[in-house]
C-alpha cells in the first residue's frame, strides 16, 4: 500500500454536518488519522440526516455516511470535568484540531487559541464558521443556504425569470471545507520548517466569494454587475445548453477554431461567415439568434451521438446527466473514484463512497474503513491518547527538521 502524504498526522475533529466533516474526510484520504469527538448519545447531527428513516434512527444517516469513512469516533462531553481532562490529553498529542462551532464557542468552553497553544505549541487549530471569528456578523448563525444567498451566488443562478435560485447541492459548505483542508495542509508544511502551529480562521462567506472567481472580478474590475443567464456562459458563445433529438447537450465552443469545427459538423458552415457570428464579441451580442440556429441543427441527432462526434473533433460537448447516470460513467470506474466498504455494523451490506478526484502518483487514495458507529472507539481512548502523546514527544525531542 502506498504511503499517503499526511500519514502520521493526527486530527481531532469536533465538527458536525458538512463543511468540517468534508474537510477532515479530505485529510483522512490523504493519510491523516481522524478522531471525531462527538457528544455522548447524540453525535454528529448528520447521523440523523438523509432520506432513509431507519438509517437516521440508527445514527447512520446518508449525510453522515458520505464523508466520514475511515474516521474514528470517541464520545466526550466538554462540559464534564473528566471528559475535559481526556480531551486535554488528546489535544497534547494532536497535530490538528478542527471545529465548526459558532464563533467563540470553544473559547467559552475554556479551549480558546491561547489555551490550546499553551497545551500544544505545535497544534494547527482550524475554526470554520459562516462569517469568520471576527467582525459584526461573526455571531450570526449560518447554514449553506444562508451563505449562498448572502454571497451573491443565488443572484446569478437561474434565468432572469427564475433567479435567485439555490445551487442544487451545499456548495458553500463544500468550498469552505476545501479551503480549510488546503490551509491546514499548508500550515502543516510550514510547521515542518518552524516547529510552530497556527490558528486558521475560515469564513465560509469569504471562501464562497473567492470561489465565484470571474463573477466577482468582472464587477470589481469593470463595474458591471453580473446577471443570471441560466445555462449560458457570459464570456463566450456558443457556450451553454442546447437541444438535441432526445435531451439537452452542453457545448462550450469558446475558441474560434472550435466554433468553426462545430458549424462544419452540424452542417451549417455558413454560420462562420455570417457577420452576426464572425467573432467572439459578435456572437455574444447575437447569442439568441446563434442558439436558435444551432438548436435547429442539433435536433437532428440524439445527445450521445453529438457528444461522440463533437468531442472527438475537439469541441467540448457532453450530455446533461442525472446523478445516477454520472455515477455509472465508465470514466469514474476507470479511475477508481468510487470505493466499496463494509457497511458500518457489519450487517453484510456494502457502502459505496466517493473519493477526492485526485490520483496520487497515478493511483487514487480511497478510504480504508467504513464510517464509525457513534463512540465505536470509546474503549480505545486512553490507549489512543497515550500513543499520540508518545509520538508528539518523539517529534518534540527530535525537532521539526529531523
Q: Which residues pair with 126 in a beta bridge?
A: 98, 200
Q: Mark out the alpha helices in 234-359 (DSSP H runs).
A: 256-265, 280-285, 287-298, 303-312, 323-327, 330-335
CATH 3.30.1540.10 domain residues, the chain: 239-320
Q: Which residues of 205-236 are buried (b: 16+ CB within 10 A; e: fewer)?
A: bbbbbebbeebeebeeeeeeeeebbeebbbeb
Q: What is the model's pLDDT at position 392?
A: 79
Query: With DSSP H G I counted as helix, E B as strand and the rest as coil, what are the percentages for the chain, rounded to 5?
Result: 45, 15, 45
Q: Residue 342, preceding bond cis, omega within 30 degrees?
A: no
Residues in the chain, total:
402
Q: What's the rounded Cα separation, in Å, for the pair 85 and 91?
A: 10
21: Cβ contacts below 8 Å, ≥ 6 apart = 13, 15, 36, 44, 46, 64, 67, 68, 177
Asked whether 176 and 151 are in contact (CB, 8 A), the reply is no
User: How far apart are the C-alpha atoms of 76 and 90, rounded to whole Å?
Assistant: 11
Hunting for cell 451490506 — which residue is that?
349
CA distance 361 to 399: 29
Give the CATH architecture of domain 239-320: 2-Layer Sandwich (3.30)
Question: pLDDT at position 324, please?
Answer: 97
Q: How many other C-beta atoms lie within 10 A of the C-beta of residue 259?
A: 25
Average pLDDT per 10 consecutive residues for the chain, totaling 402 residues:
90 97 98 98 96 95 97 97 96 98 94 97 97 96 95 96 96 98 98 96 98 94 93 94 97 97 98 96 97 98 97 97 96 97 89 96 94 96 93 69 50
pLDDT reported for residue 400 = 55
30, 114 in Cβ contact below 8 A? no
Grid coordinates representing 370 are 467504513
* Cα distance between residue 188 and residue 10, in whole Å: 11
Distances (CA, A) of 341 to 69, 236, 378: 9, 43, 22
pLDDT at 399: 63
Would you say the pTM of this structure is higher than 0.75?
A: yes
Residues that are catalytic: 173
List 353's β-bridge partners, or say none: 339
Q: d(Cα 304, Cα 318) in Å, to the nearest integer?
A: 8
What are the start and end residues of each CATH 3.40.50.10540 domain in the chain? 10-212+332-398
On the CB side of 290, how many CA atoms lie within 13 Å of its CA? 32
CATH architecture of 10-212+332-398: 3-Layer(aba) Sandwich (3.40)
Amino acid at each position: 500500500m502506498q504511503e499517503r502524504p499526511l500519514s502520521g498526522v493526527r486530527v481531532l475533529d469536533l465538527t458536525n454536518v458538512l463543511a468540517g466533516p468534508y474537510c477532515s474526510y479530505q485529510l483522512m484520504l490523504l493519510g491523516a488519522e481522524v478522531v471525531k469527538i462527538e457528544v455522548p448519545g447524540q453525535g454528529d447531527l448528520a447521523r440523523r440526516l438523509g432520506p432513509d428513516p431507519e438509517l437516521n434512527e440508527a445514527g447512520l444517516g446518508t449525510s453522515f455516511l458520505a464523508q466520514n469513512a475511515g474516521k474514528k469516533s470517541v464520545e466526550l462531553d466538554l462540559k464534564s470535568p473528566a471528559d475535559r481532562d481526556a480531551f486535554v490529553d488528546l489535544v497534547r498529542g494532536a497535530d490538528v484540531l478542527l471545529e465548526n462551532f459558532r464563533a467563540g464557542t470553544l473559547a467559552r468552553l475554556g479551549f480558546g487559541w491561547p489555551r490550546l497553544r499553551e497545551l500544544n505549541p505545535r497544534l494547527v487549530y482550524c475554526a470554520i464558521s459562516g462569517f469568520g471569528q471576527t467582525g459584526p456578523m461573526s455571531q450570526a448563525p449560518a447554514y449553506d443556504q444562508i451563505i449562498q444567498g448572502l454571497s451573491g451566488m443565488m443572484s446569478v443562478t437561474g434565468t432572469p425569470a427564475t433567479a435567485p435560485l439555490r445551487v442544487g447541492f451545499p456548495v458553500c459548505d463544500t468550498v469552505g471545507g476545501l479551503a480549510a483542508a488546503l490551509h491546514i495542509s499548508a500550515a502543516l508544511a510550514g510547521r515542518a520548517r518552524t516547529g510552530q502551529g497556527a490558528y486558521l480562521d475560515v469564513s465560509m462567506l469569504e471562501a464562497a466569494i473567492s470561489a465565484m472567481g470571474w463573477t466577482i472580478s468582472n464587477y470589481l474590475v469593470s463595474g458591471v454587475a453580473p446577471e443570471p443567464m441560466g445555462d449560458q456562459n457570459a464570456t463566450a458563445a456558443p457556450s451553454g445548453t442546447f437541444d438535441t433529438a432526445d435531451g439537452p447537450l452542453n457545448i462550450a465552443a469558446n475558441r474560434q477554431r472550435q466554433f468553426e469545427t462545430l458549424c462544419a459538423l452540424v452542417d451549417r458552415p455558413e454560420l462562420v461567415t455570417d457577420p452576426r457570428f464572425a467573432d467572439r464579441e459578435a456572437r455574444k451580442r447575437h447569442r439568441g439568434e446563434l442558439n436558435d440556429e444551432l438548436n435547429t441543427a442539433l435536433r437532428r441527432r440524439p445527445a450521445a451521438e453529438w457528444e461522440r462526434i463533437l468531442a472527438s473533433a475537439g469541441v467540448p460537448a457532453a450530455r446533461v446527466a442525472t446523478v445516477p447516470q454520472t455515477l455509472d460513467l465508465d470514466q469514474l470506474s476507470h479511475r477508481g473514484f468510487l470505493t466499496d466498504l463494509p457497511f458500518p455494523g457489519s450487517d453484510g451490506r456494502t457502502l459505496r463512497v466517493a473519493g477526492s478526484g485526485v490520483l496520487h502518483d497515478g493511483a487514487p487514495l480511497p478510504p480504508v474503513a467504513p464510517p464509525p458507529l457513534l463512540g465505536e472507539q470509546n474503549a480505545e481512548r486512553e490507549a489512543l491518547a497515550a500513543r499520540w502523546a508518545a509520538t508528539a514527544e518523539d517529534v518534540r525531542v527530535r525537532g521539526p527538521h529531523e
